[in-house]
Amino acid sequence: MHGKMEIRAVQLDLARQMETLPFIKEFIDFASGFGYNNLVLYLEGRVRTKSFPYPARNASYSPEEMAEIVAYASGKGMGVIPVVSNLGHTEQFLRYPALAPLAELRDGRRGRFSRRLSVVCPSLEATYAFFEAYYSEIAAIFPSPYFHIGNDESWDIGYCPLCRRRLKKGETQSDIFAAHLKRTHRFVTGKLGKKMVMWDDLFEHYRQCLFEIPRDIVLCCWLYDELVDIPRAHFCNRRREDWLKLYDKLGFSYLIAPADKSAANGETFTRYAYRYKPLGGHLTTWEKGTSFLYEHYPTLAYIGRLWQHGWPEDPVKLFHQVNQEIFQVTDPGFLEAVRVSQYLGSCFLPGRVEELLRGSFTPSENKRFLVREYLYRQLLPFLAKVSSLGKKVLEDILNRLQEESITHRLRQAVAGVSGPATDQEKRWFLSLGQLALKQVKELKEKRIEQWQEHRAGLPSERMAEKFDLCQENLTSFFRLFVENKSPSFLWVNYFLPDAYNAQKVRISLWNKRKNTWNQVYSGVPKPNLLDPGQTPYFTLGTQLPSSTRPEKVRIEAWGYGGIGFTYLKLVTPKGVFVPTKIIRKKGLVFHPEMVLVDDSRWCWLGDQDVAASFLDTKRAEKIHLLEIILTKS
């Protein structure tokens, strides 16, 4: 049996969704009862202070409110660690006109992925003047010896004129990042007397930094893969590297940071970490603006106990024990159903029809939803038998299961009506869609009731908008078929071995009458990552006007990682149109002839090396193009 973790931390993401003080205190009670000794508050700019007075009172916390949380946690034996990033994820600061001039993209230029102001400039003295003042105020609220500076996903290093000048003089992006970390460390550790904690993902791109920064920085290694063995990079070609082994070798202290989305992530990450010498664990939770945290309580409790007591002889028995404590129920079938629900991950209701246009309903999708429906039937009878806390948790789990059941019906309906089908089949698909839309309305009412109970006084517009958007878009979609108006669909079969890349795709159809190209799709195609049977092959559809008159199609790709195309076809009321001839190619286009046959071979557009493109923006911006004649089959 492996020993317990010294630091056992669990996070609340208050930056993306505020929680009430009573809820935070209740969460502290829960976390301390299941082995955690630290609460991490992911704040960004959620606390207003003298140096940062801009947030509205109803959209931020006061120092006094945070001090109240610190005092309450202390009474439960828990420290409170703040997370305030001073590089990437600084959009909550940059949204205010007084601080927008600190942005790396302050002159309106485009960064790696967008023009969004989310990274501050590490070459401006004003950046450090602001954050040193703000960090001093935040550190005064939180007596914890640890101060987390974030610094993950800082995509836009080296874009502003000042940073580009540094690059021209011989510095690298890695040098700029290292200089930023060393300066922040001098302040956080040297002036504030705190141990600096940071996320470690940018070292995948700026590896040299690890050999230059102070070894007393605590690295927070976050990995959200369902099954963790040797860690895979988040974006850098998913390269496999034993980071904890390297951190031990270099003398860094570090925390492992799984997420709440699947119990398997925290369980297998912990098992991997026990080969080495982690300082502790930091269980992350993120973005609960359209959901709640209760559904993940069994996972949080299980991982807390895992870190508190060390690896057990029987993990399943441990999971059942924490479920028994939460729900005050001893029924083995119930305890096991809760445990299984925590390993499947979460499926969210789609807001747009395009999210459902993924080709035929797959066997693995069907199996997943059958499991969900079985779990719902197993758990529902216990709603009146569980403890008061257990009822909150079980209601949240049941609502999530219902949300996935609705998504299941919508997928079946859309998969049916979006291709050739008999009138009888269409009527069946439409009945599924109408039933699902009725359930969307009912689930919205349940979710709003949850909100009023757990987040009284906080605005619930985002939750309501989620359901309203789904209802509005899908009602319009199904109405076309009720009125017997058949839309056209462009179906594209993709091949993507690295689902974590970011290759942008633009697809256009030639308008012969207007002698121009009409864009019909623009985005970053991704497979359904919740599909347990996923392969690199996946399909995405795009709804088009019924008047579409196809003659040829243009595919353009640029960005990070390249992308494969195996086939495409256009389904219209006038017939099905398929690719028959390649008429033009430009840039990196490999085996274009493969897209002419509906099989598993692929045509590839773009550069596969994400790591090289990340450091060479011109390489990433190069457009790769293919034009194809379409003919009615």
Q: Are residues 346 and 303 in the same domain?
A: no
Q: Give dist(CA 360, CA 418) in Å, integer.
A: 9
Domain boundary pick from 267, 296, 311: 311
Can you name the residues that pair with 98 across neighbouring β-strands?
A: none
Is residue 336, in this structure, part of any structural domain at all?
A: no
Domain boundary pick from 482, 501, 527: 482
**What was the pLDDT predicted at 337?**
98
**What was the pLDDT predicted at 570?**
93
Local structure of 575: helix, strand or coil:
strand
> Tokens 């230029």 belong to which residue?
109
Q: Give dist(CA 561, CA 153) in Å, integer.
A: 17
Q: Are residues 478 and 495 in the same domain?
A: no
Can you name the residues that pair with 564 across neighbouring β-strands?
A: 495, 604
Q: Any idea what the CATH number is for the domain that residue 603 is in? A: 2.60.60
Q: Are residues 422 and 380 in the same domain?
A: yes
Two structure tokens written together for 36: 């955690």
Q: Are residues 156 and 64 in the same domain?
A: yes
Q: Are residues 365 and 437 in the same domain?
A: yes
**What was the pLDDT predicted at 512?**
84
Beta strands in 249-329 (DSSP E): 254-257, 280-283
Can you name the residues that pair with 280 across neighbouring β-strands?
A: 7, 255
Which residues neighbour 302 within 8 Å (Cβ) at sequence distance 6 or greater? 263, 266, 267, 318, 319, 322, 342
Distances in Å between the Cα of 524 and the Cα atoms of 30, 521, 570 are 39, 10, 20
| 3-class secondary structure per residue, 433-497 | HHHHHHHHHHHHHHHHHHHHHHCCCCCCHHHHHHHHHHHHHHHHHHHHHHCCCCCEEEEEEEECC
Q: Is the dihedral of CA 440, 446, 449, 450 positive or negative?
A: negative
Q: Are residues 137 and 22 in the same domain?
A: yes
Number of structural domains (the chain) is 3
Burial class (CB in 10 A: 0-12, 13-18, 19+), 483: exposed
Local structure of 586: helix, strand or coil:
strand
Q: Give dist(CA 74, CA 79) in Å, integer.
A: 6
Q: Are residues 42 and 163 in the same domain?
A: yes
Q: Are residues 71 and 18 in the same domain?
A: yes
Of the CA atoms within 13 Å of residue 403, those in its CB half-sphere come to 24
Residues of the chain with pLDDT under 50: 1
**What was the pLDDT predicted at 1?**
45
**What was the pLDDT predicted at 534?**
61
Q: Are residues 370 and 410 in the same domain?
A: yes
Q: Are residues 384 and 295 in the same domain?
A: no
Q: Are residues 191 and 256 in the same domain?
A: yes
DSSP letter for 213, please: S
**Could you tell me the residue range of the domain that residue 237 belongs to?**
7-311
**What was the pLDDT predicted at 120?**
98
